[in-house]
Structure 1
Amino acid sequence: MRVTADEATTTYAEARAELLSRPGAPGAAKRRALTALTDDWLHALYVAAGAGEIGAALVAVGGYGRGDLAPGSDLDLLLLHSPSVSASDVTAVADRLWYPVWDAGLRLDHSVRVPAEARRLAAQDIKVVLGLLDARTVVGYDNLTKQLRESVLGDWRALAPRRLGELHYGVTERIERSGELAHLLEPDLKESYGGLRDLVALRAVAASWVTDAPVAALAPHRDLLLDVRDALHLVTGRSSDRLLQQEQVAAAERLGLEGDDPSDHLLRSVSAAGRAVAYAADTTWHRVERLTRRGGVRASLAGTARRLRGPRVERAPLAEGVVVQDGEAVLAADARPEKDPVLVLRAAAAAAQAGMRLAPHAVERLARDSAPMPEPWPAPARDALVSLLGAGRPAIPVWEALDQADIWSRLMPEWAVVRSAPQRNPVHRFTVDRHLVETAVQSGPHTRRVNRPDLLLVGALLHDIGKGRPGDHTEVGIDLVRVIAPRLGFSPEDSATLVTMVRHHLLLPETATRRDLDDPSTVAGVATAVGDVDVLDLLHALTEADAAATGPAAWSDWKKALIDDLVGRTRAALAGRPRAEEIHVTAAQVRLAEAVRVTTEGGVAVLLDHDEAATTATVTVAAPDRTGLLSTVAGVLSLHRLQVRGAQVDTVTAPDGGRRAVQVWTVTPAYGDPPPIDRLREDLTRAINGSLDVAARLDAREQAYPAPQGTAPPRVDLVPGASERATVLEVRAHDAPALLHRVTRAIAAADVAISAARVATLGSEVVDVFYLVDRDGSPLSVQRAATVRVTVLGELSRT
């Protein structure tokens, strides 16, 4: 007996209400049951409407097509029919189908089309494509649905470069409009970036065959977001997808989440899912752009085929164990993460410094195979962390890649607590962990203002590490950093500075905005708390970076003026900046120079001491002193891909009465082992006697290196009163190949001698001090010193 539409609708309404009222948390099983129940109802309506008599197919599209029906979902339906059916017959059938749905109180998104018309609309509207990619026949003539899906898929793949660009543009617009799911206190589960719409977009990318998209791997995150949406619909009785704060506790309880604050648990889970989806989307869109930019999809697919059957693609070295392939940082063929615990950080730093992403397969291997990091961390590991943080905005996707693989929690167990932790303050625009990384990135432009850029970057990363735990986050953070800093390999003195930064990271803004700056006790209290100018400078820079990472509401010109005033008064109270210390080679270094004098060839003595355990080497060079010698040696070291981590240079009187420059360099091979000492000595001798054009060789090689992105501009200062015997020039810049050679070459070109120097590379930031004298050994005149400063700054600013 044929069931009437009214009877079918009454039965469906009762069964639907019973299903949705069942106890227990929402889940995939209930969504499947609701989808099957709805399919059965629509089947009855189809029969009652006589749709089978006109050869039609009732097609579910969009979320209903995927079986993702939520309690408040629309029904997205398409009635497909043959062109031979009359318009009046189709209209009559459609009315008999749609009205019972409206009468049941459900929202309906409906259309009636012939396959060719639906295909034409899909070519014009990206939303139609996204709906039809998941089309399935609920009841009726499935051949119509198959015909439409095949034609739409064929068009989608044929026009993928243009249409994917259109889809990506819509994604970027939506980010501006709806924000990032992972960092919102009231996220939109569908529209926010990392939400359900991005999962649909990734399915569309995968269907285009342009590149893989990790759709299957994201299934658990998709299920969680769908579960949360179902719970939200059930507790509110509405179809809204925005997770408002007043509804989070009830939604969390409906999901069965427990704990002192179930809403915190809910937001952490939503944030983690949103981050995973957003990271997958970022990676996928990056590859789509790269592939479609290089001559189209066909060219990229043909290139892939050639690589599979032909010679291996050339991999340009980036760091030890890290190479560049297809615009991404990957592990070299001979890399051994299971034997090289620092590789994970070295790869991350190299990728970020080059403005690249770490390839997903490289991240997977590092997560799977990396050896445990020794404690305390070796110096190269600490330097790599600082280099990563100092890379600017490119550090964020690299950090996120390692975080998605849970690598940071292994390297720094305290990180697990702040990961995806919500900030219950609308002033903050990021979760706790992302805020910490953002603060480190925002610190980059301030590294020229402090004597220890490495402490600024790491202090910025750790300043709120105490959040997400019971108690005052500053006090908790102090205790944590007392453990973390020594584990990272910082000295007791540096560890104490990092603890001070955490203890007082709110001191300047709170004092400047809440206390009377004209009261002498206010400035005295701040001076006592910070102790010295170096710490004051670190806190000043951290304060501005913290505010920039928090959000626009955290900073203003008024607040900046107050803090600058407080810092200026405190600096005066601390009696200004300490004088730069005089530089002299040690007695041991002089003895070392004397020990190698017997091996002198052409007046040049070289000694190479390689510490394999520390992956560093010490190169001692003794040679007759002359203008430009420091630049020449720095250039030769760079030619041999020896990265300068530190150098101390002075001039001594040799036993024969001649003046000899003694240079002690601490270097790290960019990859591989240091060069043989005979080869290094030969090249140094040739460069000093003029038969090797170091500058030309370096200039040619420099073109192959990507320029650092988003780094602070260089800074060159004359330090008045720092020395009685020389003019002191201080250079702060982002490290780059042959940077020291360029700086010292500019100084030599001004016919100025470097009587002593102290070179330090802290992560990827250089802080170099040069003692300059005229030909007669006297300090430079004011005018000449200013000219040298401008010359060096011009060289550093050259692109």
Structure 2
Amino acid sequence: MLDVAALPGLTRAERVQVLDAWLGRLLDEAVAGTPPSRQRRGAPPPRTGTSGIALVAVGSLGRRELPPFGDLDLVLVHDGRPEIASVADALWYPVWDAGLRLDHSVRSIPEAVGVASTDVKAGLGLLDARLVAGDAELAARLRTATLASWRQSASRLLPQLRDLRRGRAHQVGEVAFLLEPDLKEAYGGLREGQVLRAVAAAQLGDEPTAEIEAAYAFLLDVRDELRRRTGRPADVLVRQEQRPVAVALGLADEDILLREVSLAGRRLAFVADETWRRVEAGLVRRPHGRYRRVRREPLAEGVVRQGDEVVLAQGARPAVDPGLLLRAAAAAARADLLLSPYTLKVLAVHSPPVPEPWPAELRWSFLRLLASGRAAVPILEQLDQEGLLARLLPEWDRVRSLPQRHPWHRFTVDRHLVEAAAAASELTHDVDRPDLLLVAALLHDIGKGWPGDHSVVGEPIAAEMATRMGFSPPDVAVLRVLVRHHLLLPATATRRDIDDPATIDRVAATIDHDPAVLQLLHALAQADGAATSASAWSPWKAHLVAALVARVQAKLGSVAGAPEPVLHPTEPQVTARPLDIPGAGGAVTVGIEDVADGQQVTIGAPDRSGLLSTCAGVLALNQLDVRAARIAVEAGYATAVFAVRPRFGRAPVPEILADGVRAALEGTLPLAERLRQREADYRQTGGRSAPPRISWHNGEVSGAANGIVEVRAGDRAGLLYRLTAAITGEGLDVTSARIETLGADAVDSFYVRNPSGTPVDAEQRRRVDEALVTATGGAVHDVLAGGTTDTPG
């Protein structure tokens, strides 16, 4: 007699062993108690015993994972014995009488294969088929037949299984980010472990690793303990059960339990995502089975695109190139692709320790990665899962998968920080220091990994991290303020009277009357709220914060949008000092010298309309990324100085650049056409698609200039050439320029004038706006409707 009440207290192995023995006895009794059907004339003598009958477990019992109060999934397999219906009745009724939940079926092998080939859930279950009692040879034939059917039907069934899992993820959420996760059905739950085995059985994926099996086993342990505690078949780890379950599993508290569940679910989800990508690639049929060579396209130095993923170039040397890791990550995010799993492994094994402070190239690549927006989220997850993110930022381990108990929060602390950085990337056009905004968004809650008020605790931690990244002391000081006071604006706007002058004075004093900090705090509050939830950042709250910011700006006498960006020591800089270039009398001259993180190129030529555009186009054609630029004209001779970095590691050659500039000026080099072809060859993307922001500033200039036009847009190859060509194409001369690239954003200010000496009128300004928007790749109506500002003199 089965002691059903004792089953929940047993281990999984003990539970399965007891049930197998009991079910085996039931099958023997059912077969012995059922007389064989009357023999037909000429038929072979009736069989006795369990020959031709096998009791097979599927589902959790088949996998030897049956939880307390779990269903028994049983299949009675036969090879045509006529009395099988009577045997089944005699077998199932004792199970029901014992009070156990039963999912049962009676099948011949052809029937089972037929169902498995058309029903993805049935096919998935039969992959776990395990003999409990009866004819072992019959059970082996069933397993062989269903496995062959699964592999044959994989191209049809696996997409159905993928859609089922994605649908459940949409309905239930992800285990990694739920405060009350469904351990079975949420994405990254127990189902993912089963799916990974099914894909491996179809020979379209690898067998789950020991790490995956450990994560899966932990979730099984949590579910078992949850069911023991509740006394029912529960799969949702509800809040009130988390502490007792944690104690039973030997964990310190419920937060530790939830964090471990998150880490396990996150790993399962990550591997499942990668597996589905491989499955989808493997199911694409090639015409006539011919091998098609995958094109390799350069993305950055040592990094190429291969198919739909990013890999290392053949000549890459990760062991001696500390910048390769972040350069590859940034290139992948900018192309909206993922790093290949093999590339991740190579980088994890061979990447050298990161120098401290970070060289300019590392910081540059990191900012470009963050500025890629949504495309950066899966890349950062890849780095995190391989332990590379914590290698770059050791403090990250303290917040990794750390739960946030407030119901407003959709994510764990680390994912919230990543989401905040992604949200901040959409606001970088609104601030003068997008680099500081991105880093502040990534670090604003870093203090939650330590005891105490996270804003206070996080301030020195963020400062130390920023110092290691190589930010200057003034920039570190700004980041300290942003982390310490990232809740200042929303807390004040919702809890204080913003019409009270004392409230405005208090906010102004807190930020030391710095309008730039106010600007950054406003953007940071928006990014933080968007990354939290719709409840945390409602239209009402956004309106209150904006109203508060407007009042503080009025108090500070600030005007949004500086007319002339100032280069910061954290970014590449150029000096207007020309090199000692021989033969400058009217000829085109080029000088190059090595500087930190690249080269400085100085080009001298007789001044003419469009010269800056021509020089920028030649540099872009030679695959040189312009980080900053200056141009000055004296006595009819122009000197343009550019801070550049070779995209693919090839240093610029002065003679080649000089020949290019001469040819372009003479009209024998079609720059626009060649640049379009270069973009088509490399399929370079412009990263984020946020519309550009264009501002005109009048009355703030002296000398020959009539005004300043400032353009903030996502950086891309040849952008400087396009912008300056757009301005000169509308009849204006660029008398001077200030070019700066921070992260993935270009902040370019052009001093312009009419050759006639008349002011730039509204109609001409409108045409310039449209041309500039077209040059950045944006939509004209979007920008001109709300992105263009005019600062009168």
Q: Same fold (TM over 0.5)?
A: yes
Shift of 1:124: 2.5
Comparing 669-678 and 380-389, the one that deviates more: 669-678
Q: Is 1:445 matched with 2:426? A: yes
1:600–1:160: structure 2 CA closer, same or farther, 3 Å change rule?
Answer: farther
Instruction: Kindly indicate whether the alpha-carbon contact (under 8 Å) linking 2:78 and 2:107 is maintained by their aligned counterparts in 1.
Output: yes
CA distance in 2, matches of 1:157, 1:55: 26
Question: 3-state SS of the aligned residue for 2:320?
Answer: coil
Match of 1:287 among 278, 289, 292: 278
The corresponding residue for 2:673 is 696
Percent of paired sites with the same residue: 47
CA–CA separation in structure 2 for the residues paired with 1:421 and 1:446: 27
Letter in 2 for 1:759: I
Partner residue in 2 for 1:752: 732
Cα pair 2:576 2:631 within 8 Å, conserved: no
- Tell me: CA distance 1:479–1:709, structure 2 relative to 1, closer, same or farther (3 Å): same
Q: For residue 552 of structure 2, give the secondary structure of its aligned residue in structure 1.
A: helix
Give the drift of 1:583. 9.0
Task: Give the match for residue 39 of structure 2.
Answer: none
Match of 1:766 among 746, 753, 758: 746
Contact 1:447–1:712 (CA<8 Å) still a contact in 2?
no
Decide whether aligned partners of structure 1 residues 525 and 149 sit closer, same or farther in structure 2, where only a CA change above 3 A counts.
same
Whether 2:233 is the aligned partner of 1:239: answer yes
Cross-structure match for 1:719: 697
1:439-478 superposed matches below 5 A: 439-478=420-459
Does 2:550 correspond to 1:568?
Answer: yes
**Unpaired segments of 5 or more residues in structure 2?**
33-48, 568-573, 780-793
**2:650 maps to what in 1?**
673
Residues 384-436 of structure 1 deviation map (CA, whole Å, 9 limit, x = unaligned):
11111111111111100110011111111111100000001111000000000
User: How far apart are the structure 1 equivalents of 2:332 and 2:111?
Assistant: 48
Moved more, 738-747 or 570-579: 570-579
Letter in 1 for 2:320: K
- Quick check: 2:259–2:403 contact (8 Å CA) kept in 1? yes
Counterpart residue type for residue 603 of structure 1: A
What's 1:111 paired with? 105
Residue from 626, 632, 653 that aligns with 1:644: 626
SS at 2:402 equivalent: coil
- The amino acid that maps onto 1:509 is P
Quote the residue 1:539 is aligned against: 521
Partner residue in 1 for 2:638: 661
Q: CA deviation at 1:581?
A: 4.3
What are the equivalent positions in structure 2 for 1:264-303 lying under 5 Å apart?
A: 264-293=255-284, 295=286, 299=289, 303=291
Quick one: which amino acid aligns to residue 774 of structure 1?
Answer: N
Counterparts of 1:318-329 in structure 2, within 5 Å, are 318-329=299-310
Taking the aligned partners of 1:418 and 1:591, their CA distance within structure 2 comes to 47
Match of 2:737, SS? strand
The answer to whether the 8 Å contact 2:50/2:135 transfers is no
Further displaced range: 368-377 or 773-782: 773-782
2:52 is the alignment partner of 1:55: yes
Q: 1:579 to 1:204 in 2, by over 3 A?
A: closer
Corresponding position of 1:580:
563
- Please state if 1:610 is matched with 2:594: yes
Q: How far apart are 1:781 and its partner, in Å?
A: 3.0
Pair 1:417 & 2:414 matched: no
Q: 2:334–2:687: 8 Å Cα contact kept in structure 1?
A: yes
Q: How far apart, in 1, do the equivalents of 2:684 and 2:155 lie? A: 27
Write out per-residue CA displacement over residues 24-48 of structure 1, whole angstroms, 9 at most, x where no aligned residue: xxxxxx3223222222221111111
**Residue of structure 2 in register with 1:363 after alignment:** 344
For normalisation by structure 2, the TM-score amounts to 0.91
Q: Is 1:796 aligned to residue 792 of structure 2?
A: no
The one-letter amino acid of 1:567's match is: V
Shift, 1:602, TM fit: 6.7
User: Greater shift after overlay, 52-61 or 382-391?
Assistant: 52-61
Q: 1:580, 1:723 within 8 Å by CA — same for their partners in 2? A: no
Deviation at 1:56, TM superposition (A): 1.0
Closer/same/farther in 2, CA of residues 56 and 626 from structure 1, 3 Å limit: same
Query: In structure 2, what residue type is equivalent to 1:680?
Result: L
Contact 1:752 1:773 (C-alpha < 8 Å) held by counterparts: yes
Q: Which residue of 2 aligns with 1:685?
A: 662
Alignment pair present for 1:66 and 2:78: no
Separation in structure 2 between the aligned mates of residue 189 and residue 179 of structure 1, nearest angstrom = 11
CA RMSD across the alignment? 2.2
Equivalent of 1:78, from 75, 83, 92? 75
1:624-656 deviations in Å (ceiling 9; x for gaps): 111111111111111111111111222223xxx
Q: Larger deviation: 447-456 or 53-62?
A: 53-62
Q: Report if aligned partners of 2:435, 2:742 keep a CA contact under 8 Å in 1.
A: yes
Secondary structure, counterpart of 1:409 in structure 2: helix
1:373 and 1:469 mapped to 2: Cα distance?
24
Per-residue CA deviation, residues 369-398 of structure 1 (Å, 9 max, x unaligned), is 111111111111111111111111111111
Moved more, 325-334 or 155-164: 155-164
500-509 vs 102-111, which moves further = 102-111
The 3-state SS of whatever aligns with 1:760 is strand
How has the CA–CA distance of structure 1 residues 155 and 225 changed in structure 2, closer, same or farther, with 3 Å as cutoff? same
Rounded Cα–Cα distance in structure 2 between residues aligned with 1:782 and 1:378: 45
Q: Select the residue among 303, 317, 329 that pairs with 1:348.
A: 329
Corresponding residue for residue 167 of structure 1: 161
Confirm or deny: 8 A CA contact 1:181 1:271 kept in the other structure: yes
Q: What's the offset of the Cα at 1:289?
A: 2.5
Quick one: distance in 1 between partners of 2:128 and 2:562?
70
Residue in structure 1 matched with residue 784 of structure 2 by the alignment: none
User: Which deviates more from structure 2 when the two are superposed, residues 30-39 or residues 391-400?
Assistant: 30-39
Q: How much does 1:151 deviate?
A: 3.0
The AA in structure 2 aligned to 1:508 is L
1:205 and 1:777 mapped to 2: Cα distance?
Answer: 72
Cα gap change, 1:204 to 1:791, in 2 (>3 Å): same
Query: Are the counterparts in 2 of residues 636 and 684 from structure 1 also a CA contact under 8 Å?
Result: yes
Distance 1:798 1:508, change over 3 A: closer
Letter of the 2:690 counterpart: A
Q: Which amino acid aligns with 1:85?
A: R
Moved more, 644-653 or 495-504: 644-653
Cross-structure match for 1:27 = none
Q: CA deviation at 1:757?
A: 0.6
Report the AA paired with residue 458 of structure 2. G
CA shift, 1:54, in A, is 6.0
- Alignment partners' CA distance in 2, 1:476 and 1:583: 31
1:673 positional shift:
2.3
- Secondary structure at the residue paired with 2:447? coil
TM-score calculated relative to the size of structure 1: 0.90
2:43 aligned partner = none
Q: How many Å apart are 1:763 and its aligned residue?
A: 1.5
Supply the AA of the counterpart residue of 2:344.
V
> Relative to structure 1, is the Cα distance of residues 601 and 99 closer, same or farther in structure 2, using a 3 angstrom cutoff?
farther
Q: Which residue of 2 aligns with 1:401?
A: 382
Instruction: List per-residue Cα deviations over 1:507-540 (Å, max 9, x = no partner).
Output: 1111111111111111122122233222112111
CA contact (8 A) 1:355 1:708 kept: no
Q: Distance in 1 between matches of 2:16 and 2:152?
A: 33
